[in-house]
Amino acid sequence: MAFELPKLPYELDALEPHISKTTLEYHYGKHHQAYVSNLNNLLGGTEFENADLDTIVKKSQGGIFNNGAQVWNHTFYFMQFSPSGERTPQGKLADAIKTQYGSFDAFKEEFTKAAATLFGAGWAWLALDKAGKLVIKQESNAGNPLRDGLKPILTCDVWEHAYYLDTQNARPKYLSNFWEILDWNKIGERF
């Protein structure tokens, strides 16, 4: 099965000033595309040659996992943004966040802390466990909560290529911008 770079549901300049067109040209157009190309080049003749991306993320190792998970993670990341979406959780997800964290602001603070304090490169995730409890997780490198039997709801890419062109090494500024482009209607559909 050959994977393709998914088309973004917005123009490359649509998230400005929070994420620049230049960052998306590199992060989406070059980094994400490289993971797709690398994965396709690695799959031939392996047990994952005809596997879907979820199976690759859950069961593969090494280069196939690293590239497959990065395709999955980046697609999930880019698809949660919108230039004009709902900026706060609604419905059942809003209720779950309030019940578990006390308020949306308290949740944002805890999630931002997880993203800000992840050492090196990786991802901060909001996921749902089998009991229906929300879980904030830090994952290094290409880590994905699917491998732990969790259902991903929200993610923040904290690899430097996600923000270096816009905020240099100021991860906190990137994290502030991150909250301004999330579309909670899309995120709520994942819940």
Mean pLDDT for the stretch of residues 109-135: 97
Please tell me the predicted confidence (pLDDT) of residue 1: 74
Sequence-ordered list of residues with C-beta below 8 angstroms from that of 138, at least 6 positions apart, any chain: 114, 115, 117, 118, 122, 123, 124, 125
CATH number of 91-190: 3.55.40.20
Summarised one tens digit per residue, pLDDT across range 54-99 is: 999 999 999 999 999 999 999 999 999 999 999 999 999 999 999 9
Residue extent(s) of CATH 3.55.40.20 domains in the chain: 91-190
Q: What percent of the chain has pLDDT over 70?
A: 100
Exposed / middle / buried, residue 17 (Cβ in 10 Å: 0-12, 13-18, 19+):
exposed
User: C-alpha distances in angstroms, 152 versus 19, 25, 184?
Assistant: 23, 25, 14
Mean pLDDT for the stretch of residues 142-157: 98
This prediction's pTM: 0.96
Give which of 12, 9, 190, 185 is closest to 87, Cα–Cα.
Answer: 185
Give which of 72, 79, 81 is closest to 32, Cα–Cα.
Answer: 72
Please tell me the predicted confidence (pLDDT) of residue 90: 95
Decide if pLDDT at 181 tops 80. Answer: yes
Asked if omega into 17 is within 30° of 0 (cis), the reply is yes
Q: Which fold has domain 21-78?
A: Helix Hairpins (1.10.287)
Mean pLDDT for the stretch of residues 31-53: 97
Q: For residue 39, how far is the Cα from the chain centroid?
A: 18
Decide if pLDDT at 176 tops 80. Answer: yes
Please tell me the predicted confidence (pLDDT) of residue 33: 98
Mean pLDDT for the stretch of residues 161-175: 93
Mean pLDDT for the stretch of residues 143-150: 98
Place of tokens 């819940």: 191
